[in-house]
Structure 1
Amino acid sequence: MKTVSKEELKELYDKDFPRWVDINLQLLKEKAYDLVDWENLLEEIEDMGRRYLDTCISYLAIILEHLYKWDNFKNLVGTDGGRSWIRSVENSRTRIRAMLKEYPSLRNKLSEEIERAWIRARSKLEIWLRNSDYDPEDFNIPEKCPYNYEEAMTRDLKKELK
């Protein structure tokens, strides 16, 4: 492997990421720690950890979006139309539980991310309303999440069908 300088290695991070990975991996295997692009490597490791949390936050956002639709827009689609929201909530919970079983350290982190999930849910609600020919401003969707984590993960909407 051709030797590259630390500056060239840092440039590779943006220009040829797979090569940057290969070179850093080789440097680590050779224990040439002083040549490793530590700044970008640490950032990548941090991003790897956030990826799984971000996936869970996305599923939590789906749950919050559909809970809110169920509570506030059943009259627009009817209870039968809301059944897909119930399925979506249940499917997202199943996916979150699977992720938490695989990565238990995410359990505490996810419960602290309800507001981040709500930001995503809120934007999806606004898009849904606009696509349904409604003005989101007419519905006063709250800035702060109206649900807590426990409710998002356990509320039984099927019981509310009756």
Structure 2
Amino acid sequence: MSGNLYETDFYAWALEQAALLRAGKLSAADVEHIAEEIESMGRTEKRELISRLTVLLLHLLKWQFQPVRRGNSWRTTIRVQRLDLFRHLKDNPSLKSQIPGAVADAYTTALIQAADETSLPEETFPAECPWSFDQIMDGAFWPDQH
């Protein structure tokens, strides 16, 4: 029944599996699907890291390359994303090893979005992230046009 329930009612399956695990009935648990779901949760945490970095990098790019449009909305987004990233990494410290790749992935997307949102050519922006992760996360760091 568990395998079928996994396909037809995920919520009920999850509750059933949690109850089986708490009761120590490992042989009755749907171990393969449980393992799949745990791996999926890990991927979700990494996607969250990349997503928040993308938003932060987008706004840092706009801040640098469209200084006339700077305002409280961009400032707030940058500050909130920094705080949320700090909290996310605090809750998931092993993600710190993923930061270099996550920054590179996020910057690729942020660059495309920045070009679209500013109507500036993509070539206007650096091809690779111009800031270190420490700068990106530094509350005192606000990039200016070179």
Which structure has the higher relative contact order (CA within 8 Å, separation 6+)?
2
Q: 1:43 to 1:142 in 2, by over 3 A?
A: farther
In the TM superposition, 1:51-90 aligns within 5 A as 51-74=44-67, 78=68, 81-83=69-71, 84-90=73-79
Unaligned runs of 5+ in 2: none
User: Which residue of 1 is the match for residue 108 of structure 2?
Assistant: 119
In the TM superposition, 1:83-98 aligns within 5 A as 83=71, 84-98=73-87
Q: Identity of aligned pairs, percent?
A: 27
Counterpart CA distance in 1 for 2:55 and 2:81 is: 7
Among 18, 31, 37, the residue aligned to 1:25: 18
User: Which residue of 2 is the match for residue 147 of structure 1?
Assistant: 131
- AA aligned to 2:20 is L
* TM-score with structure 2 setting the length: 0.74
Among 34, 42, 58, the residue aligned to 2:35: 42
Larger-Rg structure: 1
* TM-score with structure 1 setting the length: 0.68
* Deviation per residue, 1:2-36 (Å, 9 max, x gap): xx3xxxx2232221101211222233234332332
- Count the aligned residue pairs: 142
CA RMSD of aligned residues (A): 2.9
- AA aligned to 2:66 is F
Structure 1 segments of 4+ aligned residues over 6 angstroms from their partners: none
Q: 1:148, CA displacement in angstroms? A: 3.1
